[in-house]
Amino acid sequence: MPTVYKIIKFRASVGSVALIDHAARVVGKSRAEFILDAACEEARKVLADQIHFRLTAVQFKRFNEVLEAPLEDPDTTRRLLDTPAPWAC
């Protein structure tokens, strides 16, 4: 399946553009590559922060029980695991 692209447009101050352009030149990237890489990295960090959570000892025990229980619908679970992560750019 071919990659589908969308255009992203936004305004930035002259100073911000100069800063981005300078950093992009330093790492040998175009402005668009630099911005997209930085945005995807930040998106990964934000989404990764959403997967860490704290549990009490009782909650952790129950959580492990659920993880160890047989799957109710293995086909649905397989489809979920085969679906690419939404933060994978």
- What digits encode the pLDDT tens for the residues 58-67? 999 999 999 9
Per-residue pLDDT of 34-81, as tens digits, reads 999 999 999 988 888 777 778 999 999 999 999 999 988 889 988 988
Gap between the terminal Cα atoms of the chain: 15
Q: Where are the domains of the chain?
A: 14-82
- Residues 79/71, Cβ–Cβ less than 8 Å: no
SS3 72: coil
Q: Which long-range contacts (CB under 8 A, 24 or more apart) does 71-76 make?
A: none
- Residues 43/86, Cβ–Cβ less than 8 Å: no
